[in-house]
Amino acid sequence: MPTITPFLWFDNQAEDAANFYCSIFPNSKVGKISRYSEGAPAPAGSVMTVEFSLDGQDFIGLNGGPHFQFTEAVSFSIATKDQAETDRYWDALLADGGQPSQCGWLKDRFGLSWQVVPEELHKLMGDPDPGRAQRATKAMLQMVKIDIAKMRQAADAA
């Protein structure tokens, strides 16, 4: 199977974004940085692309100018083990200008959408008891950041 690498278009913040993401995810690093040359559509010597890896997943960031913006039509989902890990990623990705949304979604300060999803969310929403699953789902739909304790409490309410 061919390698699929997400390629992210930034105005001029690709290197800042790569450093930001690498500071959040374990086992991450910034790799090769390519620069624009003379006669390119950006100042010579400025960053054109940044290769980086987030816990083994490769990415490339491009400084392509303001022509295209991120939308919620594409997001990255982070499966978290527990509430503490959920809180850590949520808070880190919102730092310095991110915006929370609904149901575990947020936009970071670069406008990239993320879903911070505790593993237990899927268990609660897929509970074999349809009543429990429905109550958990209803609770989740009212949340901004996912709160597993509140989802459990809602699922267990009769």
Q: What's the pLDDT at 1?
A: 80
Q: Is CATH 3.30.720.100 the classification given to domain 1-68? A: yes
What is the separation of C-alpha 81 from the centre of its chain, rounded to a whole number of angstroms? 16
Domain range list for the chain: 1-68, 70-158
Task: Give the separation between CA 13 and CA 53, rounded to whole angstroms.
Answer: 17
Q: Please state, rounded to an integer, the average pLDDT across all residues of the chain.
A: 97
Identify the band that residue 93 occupies on the pLDDT scale cut at 50, 70 and 90. very high
pLDDT tens for 12-34 read 999 999 999 999 999 999 999 99
Q: Is CATH 3.10.180.10 the classification given to domain 70-158? A: yes
Query: Are 125 and 137 in contact, with CB atoms under 8 Å apart?
Result: yes
Q: Are strands 57-63 and 47-54 parallel, antiparallel or unpaired?
A: antiparallel
* Identical topology for domains 1-68 and 70-158: no
Q: Is 148 left (phi over 0), alpha (psi -120 to 50) or beta?
A: alpha
Identify the band that residue 2 occupies on the pLDDT scale cut at 50, 70 and 90. confident
pLDDT tens for 114-139 read 999 999 999 999 999 999 999 999 99
Task: Give the separation between CA 63 and CA 8, rounded to whole angstroms.
Answer: 9
101's tokens: 């949304």
Query: Are 106 and 124 in contact, with CB atoms under 8 Å apart?
Result: no
**Using CA of residue 13, residue 18, residue 19, residue 21, what is the dihedral sign?**
positive
Q: Which residues is 133 bridged to in the sheet?
A: none
Number of Cα atoms under 13 Å in the Cβ half of residue 12: 6
